[in-house]
Structure 1
Amino acid sequence: MARGLLWAFVLLPLIEIALFVIVGGWLSLWPTLALVVLAAVAGMAVLRRQGAVTAGRMRAALAQGADPGGALAEGSLIMLAGVLLVLPGFLSDAVALMLLTPPLRRALIGWVGARVVTVNLGGFAARGAGMRGETIEGEWEEVDPSDTRHRPSGWTRPPLPDDRGQ
């Protein structure tokens, strides 16, 4: 893992520099710089807009009692695309444009989601890996819901599906 990160930190800047030289040779200096500046401006616009959009989608999902994970994953990938657009470089811009494509973004979320452990906390479930016959050790204690000794001060229990008549 560490060796892969080292290679990424060495190779990615070299690839970006090589792409600058190639694109600069095709287009000349000023059009190449204009593309870099245009990508950075577009990235800032994506970042500015996406924070509020993601928060709104998560609020709507929570209000409906649904899992906000999908909205969070979509918003996070779009914000990552915005950051990649802000960074100077054509490879990072190409990856950002792929992340801004909804079918590719959903495919990536599905691929990653199939490799993440399924956890159920307070009625929300996150799907994923670790469910391939592996045993996950842990300790648990059954607590009476009316017993407040185990709760932090000011804590209220989130609504469960039974509370909504489902």
Structure 2
Amino acid sequence: MPYLFLAFIVYPLAEIASLVIVADWIGAGWTLAALFASALIGIGMLRHHRFAVGWSLVNDMRSGRLAPQSLFWVARYYIAAVLFIVPGFIGDVAAVLMLLPWGRRDTAKVPPVPDVLEGEYRRVDPRQDPRRRLDDR
């Protein structure tokens, strides 16, 4: 429990420090523009997917195929949107990392393709005359 309290103290201080470092590096105007843009991205994420994600979860529940991966993806998506809205660059980096498709192994599965090719073949002795064709036998 004391670590959680420490995180609530350290995180805002780290965000302020990152804002000062970035403002010193690229300028205060560009820093404010980047913060405004990231907040707009977060608001857009929440507005755009608010109904779409909810309806997809309802459809998954109705069909009986509600997987923990889909719930985990929805939680990550909303946390990333909130992190984009909160001013600071550490939260923005964490939001981008949350949006990466880790943990979604079910979409990477490809149906198996048979490895056996049906057909006929003849062995050709490589020491024979190369001008001799297979159909001359």
> Normalised by the size of structure 2, how large is the TM-score?
0.70
Structure 1: distance between partners of 2:69 and 2:75: 10
Bigger-Rg structure (1/2)? 2
Partner-residue secondary structure (3-state), 2:87: coil
Asked whether 1:70 is paired with 2:63, we answer: no
Asked whether 1:5 is paired with 2:4, we answer: yes
Give the partner amino acid of 2:9: V
Aligned pairs, how many?
A: 104
Aligned positions of 1:75-90 closer than 5 A: 75-90=74-89
Query: Does structure 2 conserve the Cα–Cα contact (< 8 Å) formed by 1:84 and 1:93?
Result: yes
**Greater per-residue helix proportion:** 2
Structure 2: distance between partners of 1:14 and 1:84: 16
- Structure 2 residue runs of 5 or longer lacking an equivalent are 105-137
Partner-residue secondary structure (3-state), 2:25: helix
Structure 1: distance between partners of 2:67 and 2:48: 19
Give the partner amino acid of 2:96: L
Tell me the residue number matched to 2:60. Answer: 61
Structure 1: distance between partners of 2:21 and 2:10: 16
Tell me the residue number matched to 1:102. Answer: 101
Structure 2: distance between partners of 1:86 and 1:48: 12
Deviation at 1:68, TM superposition (A): 4.9
Structure 2: distance between partners of 1:34 and 1:10: 26
Which of structure 1's runs of 4+ aligned residues deviate more than 6 A?
none
Which fold has the larger relative contact order, with Cα–Cα distance below 8 Å and residues 6 or more apart in sequence? 2
Structure 1: distance between partners of 2:52 and 2:71: 10
Structure 1: distance between partners of 2:101 and 2:50: 17
Partner-residue secondary structure (3-state), 2:83: helix
Structure 2: distance between partners of 1:3 and 1:24: 32
CA spacing shift, 1:51–1:68, aligned 2, 3 Å: farther
Give the partner amino acid of 1:12: Y
> Normalised by the size of structure 1, how large is the TM-score?
0.59
Identity of aligned residues (%): 30
Query: Does structure 2 conserve the Cα–Cα contact (< 8 Å) formed by 1:58 and 1:68?
Result: no
Higher deviation after alignment, 58-67 or 12-21: 58-67
Structure 1: distance between partners of 2:26 and 2:94: 21
Give the partner amino acid of 2:19: F
Deviation at 1:43, TM superposition (A): 0.3
Structure 1: distance between partners of 2:18 and 2:59: 42
Query: Does structure 2 conserve the Cα–Cα contact (< 8 Å) formed by 1:84 and 1:95?
Result: yes
